[in-house]
Amino acid sequence: MGFELPPYPYDLLDPYRALANQHSGGVVDLSVGTPCDPPPEEAVRALVESDSERGYPSSIGSEEFRKSCQEWVKRVFRVGLDAEKNIAACIGTKEFVVSTPNYLHLRNPEKDTVLYPEISYPSYAMGAHLAGCRAVPVKVDEGGKLLLEDLDPDDINRSLMLWVNYPSNPTGAVADLAPIADWGRSHNVPIFSDECYSQFVWGRKPSTVLSSGLPGVVAVHSLSKRSNLAGIRAGFYAGDEDLVFWLKEVRKHSGKMIPGPVQAAASLAYSDDQHVEKQKLRYRERLEFLQSCLKSLGVESELPQGSFYLWVWSGQDGSWDLVERLASEVGILVAPGSFFGSSNHVRIAAVQTLEKLELIQNRLDS
Ligand SMILES: Cc1ncc(COP(=O)(O)O)c(C=O)c1O
């Protein structure tokens, strides 16, 4: 039998959206982590003014784009990269997450396994399935640390890669990436570190797997969340010269290209960090506001160490119950933890303006 596609998770929310919409003012949608705030103006302007729309863009990314990524990595993480050998473009990062297992499997057909955190962004497992590979979850402890010591040696030997994601979507956990990189090197498992929320941390510095040295590791970065540019689809991957070389060559053959005007916009976005600092403050304020709304409903939550999600305990097997309760009582739409591997949490994304979130407070007060 061929591969049977599961339903797309967010399509399952339609009945709860309808329920939440019955509130005056409509649904407050906190389900998908899609930004609502303005991107940097000069980046948006570059989309029409770059004069780069006529010819084919470079698949690995223009020199300007890769240099901008290189300088950003140096500025934010203090890691030096070679813009020719260590960096290449991707079309947003979901396509990279989902297509990379297939490309690694083509190169290394005797390996057929993708390791990923048991509570995580669902596309890590989907990429394995779409490559005809095995998706093997790695247990995580309460603090979000991967329990690599619990893995079966056979699974390790068969692994093409291990995905990690800190700050985590959905839990907001952060972790020291150096021991994971060391584990990968000593077990011959490439570590792919999805770092799309890296700058959304409070009271600590952004971190990258690249700080532990480049051999055996690839960091994956996106402008979608960092710069509120999810609509233009831009990101990059960086790290191990050999892995980057294979991926950029195979992606070139596959016609994967970021449009030229998008590359121009992305270069500008990576050259500025001030807009990210502003965005961090917005998310913090909203997370605190949402936490207090939940408290009024008798639902306890903790602020995340990073990212912009509240990961809220919903009670044993209570994920969908809490989704329904929040939709019917205050008109908010949230994602059940089952989308991410836990049936006793919900994930609440701080992706509506404070004005919109105030609808929740009004409903609580009425
Ligand atoms: C952990 C994680 N990785 C990757 C992505 C994909 O982002 P994009 O494809 O917009 O770069 C998301 C989006 O929600 C995410 O949460």
Is residue 201 scored above 90 in pLDDT? yes
Q: How far is CA 49 from the centre of its chain?
A: 29
The whole-number average pLDDT for the span 257-261 is: 98
> In the structure, which protein residues have their CB atom closer than 6 angstroms to any atom of ligand 1?
33, 92-94, 97, 121, 165, 169, 194, 196, 222, 224, 230, 235
Dihedral sign (CA 256, 101, 77, 352):
positive
Is residue 139 scored above 70 in pLDDT? yes
User: By C-alpha distance, which of 53, 30, 5 is closest to 352?
Assistant: 30
AA identity, residue 36: C
Annotate 219-250 with b (16+ C-beta within 10 A) or e (fewer).
Answer: bbbbbbbbbbbbebbbbbbbbbeebbebbbeb
Residue 156 token pair: 């390790």
The whole-number average pLDDT for the span 4-22 is: 95
Digit-coded pLDDT (tens) for 80-126: 999 999 999 999 999 999 999 999 999 999 999 999 999 999 999 99
Binned at pLDDT 50, 70 and 90, residue 317 comes out as low
Residue 253 token pair: 């053959």
Whole-number Å distance, alpha carbon 247 to ligand 1 midpoint, is: 19
CATH code 3.90.1150.10 region(s) in the chain: 9-39+274-365
CATH code 3.40.640.10 region(s) in the chain: 41-270
Whole-number Å distance, alpha carbon 155 to ligand 1 midpoint, is: 26
Terminal-to-terminal C-alpha distance of the chain: 54
Is residue 264 scored above 80 in pLDDT? yes
% of the chain with per-residue pLDDT over 90: 97
Nearest-angstrom CA–CA distance, 149 and 13: 36
Whole-number Å distance, alpha carbon 351 to ligand 1 midpoint, is: 14
Is residue 315 scored above 90 in pLDDT? no
Nearest-angstrom CA–CA distance, 39 and 41: 6
Whole-number Å distance, alpha carbon 366 to ligand 1 midpoint, is: 37
Nearest-angstrom CA–CA distance, 97 and 1: 25
Whole-number Å distance, alpha carbon 296 to ligand 1 midpoint, is: 31
Digit-coded pLDDT (tens) for 323-364: 999 999 999 999 999 999 999 999 999 999 999 999 999 999
Residue nearest to atom 12 of ligand 1 (CA): 94
Is residue 275 scored above 70 in pLDDT? yes
Digit-coded pLDDT (tens) for 53-84: 999 999 999 999 999 999 999 999 999 999 99
Helix (H, G, I), strand (E, B) or coil at 214: coil
Helix (H, G, I), strand (E, B) or coil at 362: helix
Nearest-angstrom CA–CA distance, 363 and 26: 11
Nearest-angstrom CA–CA distance, 283 and 259: 29
Ligand 1 pocket test, pick from 171, 224, 233, 309 with the greatest ligand atom count within 8 Å of Cβ, gives: 224
Helix 274-296 to helix 354-365 angle (10° resolution) is: 10
Helix (H, G, I), strand (E, B) or coil at 356: helix
Q: Are 190 and 160 in contact (CB under 8 A)?
A: yes
Domain 9-39+274-365 sits in CATH at: 3.90.1150.10
Q: pTM of the prediction?
A: 0.97
Q: How far is CA 287 from the centre of its chain?
A: 18
Ligand 1 pocket test, pick from 8, 93, 119, 270 with the greatest ligand atom count within 8 Å of Cβ, gives: 93
Q: How many alpha carbons fall within 13 Å on the CB side of residue 257?
A: 13
Q: Are 189 and 156 in contact (CB under 8 A)?
A: yes
Residue nearest to atom 6 of ligand 1 (CA): 94
Q: Are 184 and 162 in contact (CB under 8 A)?
A: yes
The whole-number average pLDDT for the span 225-251 is: 98
Nearest-angstrom CA–CA distance, 208 and 342: 26
Q: 41-270 has which fold? A: Aspartate Aminotransferase; domain 2 (3.40.640)
Nearest-angstrom CA–CA distance, 118 and 343: 12
Is residue 2 scored above 90 in pLDDT? no
